[in-house]
Amino acid sequence: MKINIKIDTVLNAFHTDAHDYFNLTNSLLETCKKFEDPSVSLDDDIKVFFPIRPMLAGKKKINYFQDSSKMYYVETKYDGERLQAHKKGTEVKLFSRNAVDYSKIY
């Protein structure tokens, strides 16, 4: 028997915030770990070296914004690959939009 169940349905049944967190992190394992306890709620905690799934960008020039003590830079993709750069001290990791680690390639 064939059953059509979307991941949205499964995640919403698992926890009310699970679908939103999965869309942010693109990691089913991390989503299940985070919401193992039903009393936990979504906090938009973005960590270094943990890729996020960004929204697709339109044509924009380079912009930056600052939130408390953190500075963020946003650059338009013209050709090639779009990567997220995570830096902590001298360690740098590069991730694709789908959370593939490209650090060793570049």
Question: What tokens does 88 get?
Answer: 């902590």
Alpha helix positions (H), 3-60? 7-14, 18-25, 28-34
Q: What is the pLDDT of residue 3?
A: 75
- 27-77 pLDDT per residue, tens: 888 888 888 888 887 765 566 777 776 666 555 555 666 777 777 766 655
CA 33, 37, 41, 47 dihedral sign is negative
Largest CA distance in the chain: 55
Long-range pairs of 41-44 with CB within 8 A, sequence gap ≥ 24: 41/17, 42/17
Give the rounded distance of the alpha carbon of 69 from its chain centre.
21
Q: What DSSP character marks residue 57? A: P
Residue 77's nearest CA partner among 65, 93, 59, 94 is 59
Asked if the model's pLDDT at residue 15 lies above 70, the reply is yes
pLDDT interval class at 11 (50, 70, 90)? confident
Catalytic residue annotation: 77
Q: Where in the chain are the domains?
A: 1-45, 46-106
Alpha-carbon Rg for the chain in angstroms: 17
Q: What percent of the chain has pLDDT over 70?
A: 71
pLDDT interval class at 4 (50, 70, 90)? confident
Asked if the model's pLDDT at residue 6 lies above 70, the reply is yes
